[in-house]
Homo-oligomer: A and B are copies of this chain.
Amino acid sequence: MTRACPCLAARRRARAITRHFDAYLRPRGLRSTQFSVLAALAQRGPTGRGRLANGLGLDRTTLTRSAATLERQGWIETLEADDGRERPLALTEAGRCALNAALPAWKEALDRLDHEARGDPAAHAMPQR
């Protein structure tokens, strides 16, 4: 009865896809979540933490911790805003470089995923070291 629980299915799928993408992104030194935060900042430009978290569909406090590790890596920085309450996040140059360096790995992960979804038998190769 609980066999078709959409919550379990969604979590299982997210875990599997995350492992897949992480395997390709790992050699570039970042994880799927970090990649998505950097990509979102690249698209939006400097963005307040709350707004960014909302756009990514995650809790604001979760983004706070993720941002802390990304800031430790030097990939993002906190800007000052007119509104003293806001602490907008922005990509640094290093962050943009890391994102660009990871893009090919992301694309390859995406391709392999598509091939697997079509049942392509030759598409189960693992990422190059």
A contacts, CB < 8 Å to B: 2-3, 5-8, 10-18, 20-21, 32-33, 35-36, 39, 43, 56-58, 106, 109-110, 113
Within the complex, the shortest CB–CB distance from A65 to chain B, in Å, comes to 14
Protomer copies: 2
- Chain B residues lying within 8 Å of A20, measured Cβ to Cβ, are 7
User: What are 30 A-B pairs at a CB distance below 8 A?
Assistant: A2-B35, A2-B39, A2-B43, A3-B43, A5-B106, A5-B110, A6-B17, A6-B110, A6-B113, A7-B17, A7-B20, A7-B32, A7-B36, A7-B109, A8-B32, A8-B36, A10-B10, A10-B14, A10-B17, A10-B18, A11-B14, A11-B18, A11-B36, A12-B56, A12-B57, A13-B14, A14-B14, A14-B15, A15-B57, A16-B57
